[in-house]
A and B are shown apart, each in its own frame.
Chain A
Amino acid sequence: GESVGLHLPTLSVQEGDNSIINCAYSNSASDYFIWYKQESGKGPQFIIDIRSNMDKRQGQRVTVLLNKTVKHLSLQIAATQPGDSAVYFCADGRGYSGAGSYQLTFGKGTKLSVIP
């Protein structure tokens, strides 16, 4: 079936370095992709999204790259800080039906640990 997966379950980076979190997807019909950050004991928090007709999108300290040829997206975090320590999920979003349905399929998550 369709799935959204992550290449690595854990990632440790030194404070100040850049982090790259990868994600593979299988559904070519996805309309957009979203990255979420989840801190311990909290609900997921939206970071950034990218439409399927885009290759790159930048936010504050974060960049998402989408490679539709190999069905891969990545989240790059610049100058990683201790506050970036969390589990990061990628999700792909499907199109809308007449009822406006919207379903996100989440990957299993990558735990990012920042070493001070």
Chain B
Amino acid sequence: DAGITQSPRHKVTETGTPVTLRCHQTENHRYMYWYRQDPGHGLRLIHYSYGVKDTDKGEVSDGYSVSRSKTEDFLLTLESATSSQTSVYFCAIRPRQGVTEAFFGQGTRLTVV
């Protein structure tokens, strides 16, 4: 699992509530990513980070924010959850520039009711 821990693994929340998902890595890798996976869409990039406090948007960033105050933690926040954000969220890490391989976490299944 390349030292990646996602928490929680499962969550059910109500529409309009804030939700924060955590990705924790023990490998001190520079690059971290948040993807969402939905049937018929594959994996889509939400946000990524290339260092502490350095983040940027992916293709589906609306409704999401991220923070990275420490190398090991990358937080994904849904400020006000909507049913369209029901999905499986994956965190990924990549060791360094020039390396193509990305390691994925086990995923967080989020249901917004």
Contacts A49-B101, A109-B42 given; indicate if A44 touches B90 (C-beta within 8 A). Answer: yes
Main secondary structure on chain B at its contact with chain A?
strand
Chain A 85-116: CB-based contact to B (< 8 A → 1; otherwise 0): 00001010100100111111011110000000
Contacts A100-B50, A102-B31 given; indicate if A34 touches B100 (C-beta within 8 A). Answer: yes
Chain B: interface size category: 20 to 34
Chain B: minimal CB distance from A33 (Å) = 9
Main secondary structure on chain A at its contact with chain B?
loop
A to B contact number (C-beta, < 8 Å) = 57
**Cβ contact within 8 Å between A44 and B104:** yes
Q: Using CB atoms, name the residue of chain A closest to B99.
A: A102
Residues in A neighbouring B30, C-beta threshold 8 A: 100
Chain B: minimal CB distance from A77 (Å) = 19
A43: Cβ under 8 A from any B Cβ: yes
Chain A: minimal CB distance from B107 (Å) = 5
B94: Cβ under 8 A from any A Cβ: yes
